[in-house]
Structure 1
Amino acid sequence: MIDNIETFFAQYQPKPLYVTKEYAVLIPIIEVDGIPHLLYEVRSQHISQPGDTSFPGGRVEPNETVKEAAIRETVEELQIPIESIHVIGEMDYIVQNNRVIHSVLAEIKGIDLLDIIWNEEVEEIYTVPIQYFIDNEPDHYTVLGMMKYPPDFPYDRIPNGKQYNFGKPKSTIPFYNLSDHYLWGFTASLTERLIHLIKENKLFANKKE
């Protein structure tokens, strides 16, 4: 029995518990006048979180890899040829409640920004120079959540019952200061993480140096 368990776990791939939904976004880098920018979408009024800034992306379908999902969603939303998407690699991902949001970094090549005609899920697109994010950190705001328990919650099965110190969930939300668009939440978090990796590993020449 122990031998079977050892054999199984020798090749087992750990995964987060209770995750029932997986999403993938593409973080697109595109050159504008020879300068690398990050490309963002503004979500249309016909889908959830209208007016928010997001990266192209969506649900990972059964039997689909994270990379495949990110590319498929980008091709659908920006209506660009798949050949123009040069995948650089996967970046870090976000785990919240029962979902995982994966991120794939890619360069959009061989297509001009002005030639992109997006679909009905997108209200508009815009870009921000990577240099802007290197020079400007986001503001951070801490939010405390409230835990709500059902009336039949079995307090009698835990030490101190209702007096148990459950703690309160806490999250930090970044906000970037853009004059004409909203950039916050998950999209800002992934942006901040990318810029942190770029700066930490000196992957981008800072003009101020």
Structure 2
Amino acid sequence: MFDIPSSTASFMRFVQDRFDRQPPEAFAFNENGDLGKISAVLFLLGPGIGGKPVLILNKRSRHVRQPGDLCCPGGGVQPKLDSFLARWLRLPAPPLSRWPKGFWWRRYREKDWTKLALLLATALREGFEEMRLNPLGVRFLGPMAAQRLVMFRRTIYPLVGWVPRQRLFFPNWEVEKIVRIPLASLLEADNYACCRISFRDITSCGPDIPYRDMPCFVHRDNGQRELLWGATYRLTERFLGTVFDYRPPAVDTLPVVPIRLDNRYLGNPTVR
């Protein structure tokens, strides 16, 4: 049984303290040449029913690649716009300036402080575009270690945030709906499964590519089932390990959930 602090203030302090113990390595990207290869996302938390913390995710719409997947709000850097927004973030009022570790980062990790502002600006802008997240309503809790996507040749920089007041979000065309997963359910072993993923090439009508087993989390809400797997699952696993020292069960001990994918999963999205 894992003890989740009951009040918002104590929960935020708890998360910040745990991340302070394991600050990420220096940001490896070069602002003059690597911005096209990186993405920034918000690992977004907020109060759910009874004030208990939930993980807030987007479900990707059919108009984008990887439709149906659960993902954190965020995306690629827009250098000119996000650099401008990053300067705004360093002013007294915005989320980054209210972060308790901001002074330490400005003093001891000056180069990373500038990059952190750029990443947070990107994630907040994307959050506003995708779900009308109020950037001024987000409390920044800290950065997580980067997640490298070999298949897409990109690196994801996750940033943990808490949204205390906003309850309604308004998804744009990229997002089918908003999914809230109680943090307590992510700490229950019975909610994990093994995703058995097979891929069929529908362009050539060839045989299925041999399946691959991956861990996943099964979220059930009002009779509907959502699967959390892939890169967002790995980010969630890292968060749970850092904050609660929790490790999900080994994949070979879990019940199997089959997933069939085809070319449309990684194909060209609908142009808008």
Deviation at 1:67, TM superposition (A): 1.1
Which residue in the other structure is 1:207 paired with? none
CA gap of 1:42–1:24, structure 2 versus 1, over 3 A, is same
- Is the partner of 2:226 in helix, strand or coil? coil
Which residue in the other structure is 2:147 paired with? 94
User: Aligned to 2:66, which of 20, 41, 49?
Assistant: 49
Aligned equivalents of 1:57, 1:129: Cα separation in 2: 21
- Normalised TM-score (structure 2): 0.53
User: Aligned to 1:187, which of 217, 224, 232?
Assistant: 232
- Normalised TM-score (structure 1): 0.68
CA gap of 1:66–1:140, structure 2 versus 1, over 3 A, is farther
Deviation at 1:109, TM superposition (A): 2.0
Which residue in the other structure is 1:128 paired with? 181
CA gap of 1:105–1:118, structure 2 versus 1, over 3 A, is same
Does structure 1 conserve the Cα–Cα contact (< 8 Å) formed by 2:134 and 2:166? no
Does structure 1 conserve the Cα–Cα contact (< 8 Å) formed by 2:216 and 2:228? yes
Does structure 1 conserve the Cα–Cα contact (< 8 Å) formed by 2:40 and 2:119? yes
The count of corresponding residues between Structure 1 and Structure 2 is: 160
Report whether the alignment pairs 1:29 with 2:45: yes
Runs of 5+ unmatched residues, structure 2: 1-25, 83-117, 198-211, 247-272
Deviation at 1:78, TM superposition (A): 1.1
Report whether the alignment pairs 1:174 with 2:187: no
Runs of 5+ unmatched residues, structure 1: 1-12, 144-170, 202-209
Aligned pairs for 1:52-201 within 5 A: 52-62=69-79, 64=82, 65-97=118-150, 98-112=153-167, 115-136=168-189, 138-139=192-193, 173-179=214-220, 180-200=225-245
Does structure 2 conserve the Cα–Cα contact (< 8 Å) formed by 1:38 and 1:128? yes
Instruction: Output one character per residue of 1:88-114: Cα deviation in whole Å (capped at 9) or x when no partner.
Output: 1111211133311110000012212xx
Does structure 2 conserve the Cα–Cα contact (< 8 Å) formed by 1:173 and 1:189? no
Does structure 1 conserve the Cα–Cα contact (< 8 Å) formed by 2:143 and 2:159? yes
- Bigger radius of gyration: 1
Does structure 2 conserve the Cα–Cα contact (< 8 Å) formed by 1:24 and 1:101? yes
